Structure 1
Amino acid sequence: MNPSSNRPVKPSLLQQLSLWLDRIVEILLLVMGIVIGCVLFAQVLFRFLGHSLGWSEELSRQLLVAITFLGGSSAYKKAGFIGLKGIGERLGAGGRRAVLWLLQGLSFACFGLIAWFGCWYTIKAWEQTSTALEIPMSIPYAVIPLSAFIMLIHVLADMQHGNDIP
């Protein structure tokens, strides 16, 4: 709500992008979880029948890593800053705003470093291939900079929204 009127404030384009990305990530997380469950069920079934799916463990492991990183971006979007109330409330409105900006700035710097080094490592790993799937390792490693860029957008949207906090 806008403090000067009773009309709801329309989210900015950046905030809408952040919400849209979070919805897409949630759908991807659901799909990847279902795929892992199906692949592992098939692996157990095939082993019972005397055959083994050599690629299933590697695929499941890579999807689990992707779930971890993308899930981190979704968790960041939903949790915000957990410890802010305890620290910021004691310092008043100005202290709360300062703590919020400090935490957001540190988060932005951390996610920026992860994105930078994740891009570098993803490019560097193009020549390496995975053992069972025989795909370039850059494909599973790409989730690192991707999730970091999503988190950067979430932080920027939170920083923009933080201007509305009294």
Structure 2
Amino acid sequence: MMQIIKKIGDGIDRVSLIISGTAVGVASAIVIIQIFLRYFFGNALSWADELSRYCMVYATYIALPCVYRRKTLTGITIFVEKIPLKIRKYIELLALALSIFFLSITIFFGTKQLLSPSVLRQITPALKIPMYIPYFSVPLGATLLLYFILEDVLHIFNRKEGSDTI
């Protein structure tokens, strides 16, 4: 069972990295082109700021689960490292439970906002795309992060005593 969950997680991770890397690349290229056009031609693309902003929002929400999974998020672990391993397991589970709670609220209200009639009827000012496309980044990123947190919870329950890594 854990093998299947890990393989699914690996696939999500790989696709998320490609999407977020592409989004950062597109945003960077657009900003450079925009600067060039403004500086040399005194004219700018009307949609460039909006697209680069949405690309960075998606890059952030899509990359966050990957960063979490690699355990490269900034954290203060000085206190946790001093706690005995048997107690540490329960503190890790409490922290993950709080994260699950927060992400569930984020997914619920993010989806509620995404599906609200005002968002569904709106289009973005410059790109003229449906506003639900930018709004979708919040529940999508939170759902991906929730998957990886649940993966960690399962790993904690399946790890051997004396092991201190998630």
Superposition TM-score, scaled by structure 2 size: 0.85
- Which residue in 2 is equivalent to 1:109? 101
Deviates more, 1:100-109 or 1:42-51: 42-51
Counterpart contact for 2:5–2:151, Cα < 8 Å: yes
Quick one: which of 134, 148, 151 aligns to 1:154? 148
Letter in 2 for 1:107: S
Runs of 5+ unmatched residues, structure 2: 162-166
Deviation at 1:165, TM superposition (A): 4.5
For 2:146 and 2:82, the matched residues in 1 are separated by: 28
**Cα gap change, 1:102 to 1:51, in 2 (>3 Å):** same
- For residues 115-155 of structure 1, what are the alpha-carbon distances to aligned partners after superposition, in whole Å with 9 as ceiling and x for unaligned? 11111111111111111011111101101000011011001
Tell me if 1:99 matches 2:83: no
For 1:126 and 1:40, the matched residues in 2 are separated by: 28
For 2:2 and 2:72, the matched residues in 1 are separated by: 17
For 2:160 and 2:80, the matched residues in 1 are separated by: 12
CA RMSD of aligned residues (A): 1.9
- Which residue in 2 is equivalent to 1:72? 64
For 2:81 and 2:128, the matched residues in 1 are separated by: 53
Deviation at 1:57, TM superposition (A): 0.4
- Which residue in 1 is equivalent to 2:137? 143
Runs of 5+ unmatched residues, structure 1: 1-9
Superposition TM-score, scaled by structure 1 size: 0.85
Letter in 2 for 1:139: I
Tell me if 1:31 matches 2:25: no
For 1:152 and 1:128, the matched residues in 2 are separated by: 28
Quick one: which of 45, 52, 67 aligns to 1:60? 52
**Cα gap change, 1:52 to 1:80, in 2 (>3 Å):** closer
Deviation at 1:161, TM superposition (A): 1.0
Quick one: which of 115, 119, 131 aligns to 1:123? 115
Counterpart contact for 2:50–2:126, Cα < 8 Å: yes
Tell me if 1:134 matches 2:134: no
Q: How does 1:4-19 map to 2 (within 5 A)?
A: 11-19=2-10
Letter in 1 for 2:104: G
Q: Percent identity at matched positions?
A: 26
Counterpart contact for 1:29–1:71, Cα < 8 Å: yes
Matched residues, number: 156
- Which residue in 2 is equivalent to 1:7? none
Counterpart contact for 1:87–1:96, Cα < 8 Å: no
